[in-house]
Structure 1
């Protein structure tokens, strides 16, 4: 069956388009749709994409197809679309739902239909609506039970793919630590560091400001160091706002927003979640116990030589890498939205506190040999950053 065109926006979704999409996605005996009511939920759930809920009115009663679905489309903001193309964000999320989600290692919305156009970098995902579950509150922060559920869930995803990144379906997935990608990440990071410190500099202690400015020209080296550690499939933006929970007893978190997913060290997801989504006092109380449970789950799935000490060291090393998304989000996106600004500020306070608690500065990469390409790139990056900062 021919694939329907990708809608220009949520407003362009029609009853006929939705029926053709569901049929192209494999649903059989799809009755006619009388009406599609489109509700914008992107302001609450997404920065880098347009996200809408479509409530479907069917021509006849049916249990074979849902009463509502979530549709994800490219962002209407040109700046976000440029960043997506540069970092292959839409392609990465589409690839997750097509190739990794079927593993069943982590709960995520069921893909009902998806399409991606390489040339235009346009995409559409029609996903199961998880509206019957409750979301975490990023501003309030995760409870101890929510944190435990999140760490258990991501441990199973990581354990399922531990050191299997050269095998299908993971071979060919985005590898943020590859030489090409880590170079791009460092350039973006330094470009956004200047506006971040202009707008949010008061959140940085003198020590943290010195650390982030030292880290910028060495970010690629840090990613190279992390690439030499055990690799798996990572979510990349593993935070409470991207999680849904069943009501009542602790259950596995269902996780959305896979745009920055790819290959990396699994403790990045853990550090990013614990640092940014868990209130500092709760994190300090539970983090060692949760890291021990994470290591136990991963060992039980085949990584027999993965000790708690290995896990704890990688957790601390990856906490330093949490600068990456923090700076790119703060410096590169429109933060006029009041809630989003509070969200970023809250996450920044928590993450900077975690970096200090865990002495993440210990993992600032050592200088490379003077004439090495890595050191030359670092030196040029440092000069470019200083020049850009002066011109601002």
Structure 2
């Protein structure tokens, strides 16, 4: 569990003080004092909010950052509850706690680009948190409605292999409620959750009975328990929401983006990240044109990092199965967070892309290949 601070950290930009910022920077080794700052809202998070803090500094430390990012729990009862309970599994951390623990314990162990953390705090009941993070600048925030350039797409896949490879197939620490692989009981619980989410989604989206969407939803619910557990498949640390919105693309010529929003980090089948990104987060025509080359980049980097027993064809299988991660998100956010116009636009866009992905890859058949849970 997270060790809670003796006193709460600021939980919005309005609560931040120059003394707190100075303390954070000095504890990170910077000989500097913050004398003032300005804040502006950034990002499109539906569970967490973020502000960029522009600092006025007094000191001679040339390495000190002049801007930082404050991330904290978003207002709204549905979003706050979702952040606290996470996936809803007893004994597992919620989304807010997952992200705090990722930056505290796991960020240094992976080969993906992530922001540096200067401070982290979570409330005792885990419904509020704060992170003080490196501001990746200059960079262009990713946008689900605008596909990255081909060189950036390959950087995305290089990052993804760098996330998966270090903990590939464990061993995972016994008794760690974040890094323990999913259990059969959790698969059965997930099936009950996703069934309720899908029914809500059918109503909210006026899904026509017997339509392609309706058939896909029904098949997924029937096999959701086995998909969540994916018994017999490789396991690794996954992002859990690996998509363009959760990436920052540096404008200094670097091709690898910086991956943010680690609230859904968990140990699971690595195909979930592959499928969530390629199956839903980029336009269908872009996926069709670049999919094979992107999988080769991913597989090549896995091999470089020591994963020797997973073929390129295995990665294709991972993608077929993992594409349902996109359907998981599409049906879940409509019920779990306080939706806005952009959220509904995301849902409809993802759904269109996913239906094409499932058809192109015969993903429904991949569900049938999973063993039923006993």
Residues 250, 201 of structure 1: alpha-carbon distance in 2 compared, 3 angstrom cutoff:
farther
Q: Deviations over 1:243-263 (max 9, x none)?
A: 112226452111000000111
Is 1:116–1:122's contact at 8 Å kept on the other side of the alignment?
yes
SS at match of 1:127: strand
Residue in structure 1 matched with residue 197 of structure 2 by the alignment: 192
Task: Give, in angstroms, the shift of residue 202 of structure 1.
Answer: 5.2
Which of 217, 221, 226 aligns to 1:216? It is: 221
Q: Does 1:144 align with 2:150?
A: yes
Q: Deviations over 1:180-219 (max 9, x none)?
A: 4434433332222122122324599813311212322431
1:1-392 correspondence to structure 2 within 5 Å: 5-23=8-26, 25-31=27-33, 33-41=34-42, 44-60=43-59, 62-87=61-86, 88-167=94-173, 171-175=176-180, 177-201=182-206, 206-224=211-229, 226-247=230-251, 249=253, 251-336=255-340, 338-365=341-368
Is 2:84–2:126's contact at 8 Å kept on the other side of the alignment?
no
TM-score (norm 1): 0.84
Structure 2: how far apart are the matches of 1:283 and 1:271? Answer: 11
Is 1:3–1:21's contact at 8 Å kept on the other side of the alignment?
no
Task: Give, in angstroms, the shift of residue 342 of structure 1.
Answer: 2.0
Task: Give, in angstroms, the shift of residue 3 of structure 1.
Answer: 6.0
The answer to which of 340-349 and 253-262 deviates more is 340-349
Task: Give, in angstroms, the shift of residue 114 of structure 1.
Answer: 1.1
The answer to which of 179-188 and 85-94 deviates more is 179-188
Structure 2: how far apart are the matches of 1:97 and 1:38? Answer: 23
Task: Give, in angstroms, the shift of residue 69 of structure 1.
Answer: 0.7
Is 2:235–2:268's contact at 8 Å kept on the other side of the alignment?
yes
Is 2:273–2:325's contact at 8 Å kept on the other side of the alignment?
no
SS at match of 1:258: coil
Residue in structure 2 matched with residue 388 of structure 1 by the alignment: none
Name the one with the larger helix percent.
1
Task: Give, in angstroms, the shift of residue 61 of structure 1.
Answer: 5.4
Residues 81, 182 of structure 1: alpha-carbon distance in 2 compared, 3 angstrom cutoff:
farther
CA RMSD, Structure 1 to Structure 2 (Å): 2.6
Structure 1: how far apart are the matches of 2:185 and 2:48? Answer: 25
Aligned residues: 363
Task: Give, in angstroms, the shift of residue 237 of structure 1.
Answer: 0.6
- Tell me, which stretches of 5 or more residues in structure 2 are unaligned? 87-93
Is 1:227–1:264's contact at 8 Å kept on the other side of the alignment?
no
Q: Deviations over 1:23-70 (max 9, x none)?
A: 4x4334332x222222222xx331101211111112445424321110
SS at match of 2:108: helix
Q: Deviations over 1:107-162 (max 9, x none)?
A: 11101111223434432110001131122331122332222110111112212221
Structure 2: how far apart are the matches of 1:75 and 1:139? Answer: 23
TM-score (norm 2): 0.88
Structure 2: how far apart are the matches of 1:4 and 1:68? Answer: 24
Structure 2: how far apart are the matches of 1:174 and 1:239? Answer: 22
